[in-house]
Amino acid sequence: MKSRKQVIQIQQQDKDIPIEFFRIENSLELFDFKQHYQYNFYQIYWFTGASGEEHQIDFTTYQIEPNQIWIIYPGQVHYFDPIAVSGYYLAIDMDYFHRVLFNEAKQKAFTGHNHLKFDVTLPMQKLFEHLHLLIEMEFHSLKRAAVLEKYLQLYILHLQDLPVVQQSHVTIDARIHKLLELIERHYITQRKNEFYADKVALSTKRMNEILLLSIGKSLKQQLQDRLLLEAKRLVGHSTENIQDIAHKLCFSEVSYFNRFFKKLTLQTPLNFREQVKKVQG
């Protein structure tokens, strides 16, 4: 029986540079396929070559297709074997990415925890090759943050012109963006509507209206989904006992945590952990 893969917490290698650039095939040491990784920054992968390979994002397996760009969000657990994959990898500071995004007139749902992937069409491949080359040259020479920011702005603008694969988009305004950031920061300790509505100067009714219009979920649903995702990560990819996980997620009793988990997954935390073990081998 193989040992169960553990989640390794990863930060950017160079905290002084908001964007880091790597060619996947030349950076295999960054991707130990024996481990699952959880990152505190955004990642953009352009897989230019793959042959029947797969990667896992938050307990779901996806096929890697050539000439697809994937966005991996901060906090997501990601795993793939890079040996048979080629392409480009960008690591982008979270705050920096948000600032660039929301300086753009053309905004799409790059926040939250949706699985976001794009097809790089044949006419656009040359353009993205040039963009990656510009970023690579700057990253490996002067590392000027202002120049890298301009390249990232161009990258995002062109990215939004690509066909999105199985993903609906909505345009979100600054209030929704702030709400999603607040949820990400406080979902464990703050679970009342009033806390979030007060932070964005909205009534709870209006806050839920614009959330439903923008992301199709109420605040309660978004908080619940985020909390469940973190619970799955801890139960499935850590060795902590269930009582400690319940305490870490601010459940006053482990029985409340078990009830919450079973209501949303139809299985107990321990059953879920056993299922993950079987899948991983």
Phi-psi region of 258 (alpha: psi -120 to 50; beta: other; left: phi over 0): alpha
Range from 103-107, 222-226, 249-253 carrying the lowest mean pLDDT: 103-107
Burial 97-132 (b: 16+ CB within 10 A, else e): bbebbeeeeebbbbbbbebbbbebeeebeeebeebb
Cα separation, 31 vs 238, in Å, equals 19
pTM for the whole structure? 0.67
| Cα–Cα distance for residue pair 186/250, rounded to 1 Å | 11
Please, which pLDDT band fits residue 106 given cuts at 50, 70 and 90?
very low
**Bridge partners for 60 per DSSP:** 57
Map out the domains of the chain as residue ranges. Answer: 7-159, 174-280
pLDDT at 130 over 60: yes
CA 252 to mean position of chain CA atoms: 28
Q: What integer best gives the mean pLDDT of the chain?
A: 83
Task: For residue range 154-199, list pLDDT tens digits in order.
Answer: 998 898 888 776 544 445 567 877 888 899 889 999 999 999 999 9
CATH topology of domain 174-280: Arc Repressor Mutant, subunit A (1.10.10)
Average the pLDDT over 90-113 and give the result.
66
CATH level 3 topology of 7-159:
Jelly Rolls (2.60.120)
In the predicted model, what is the mean pLDDT of residues 90-118?
68
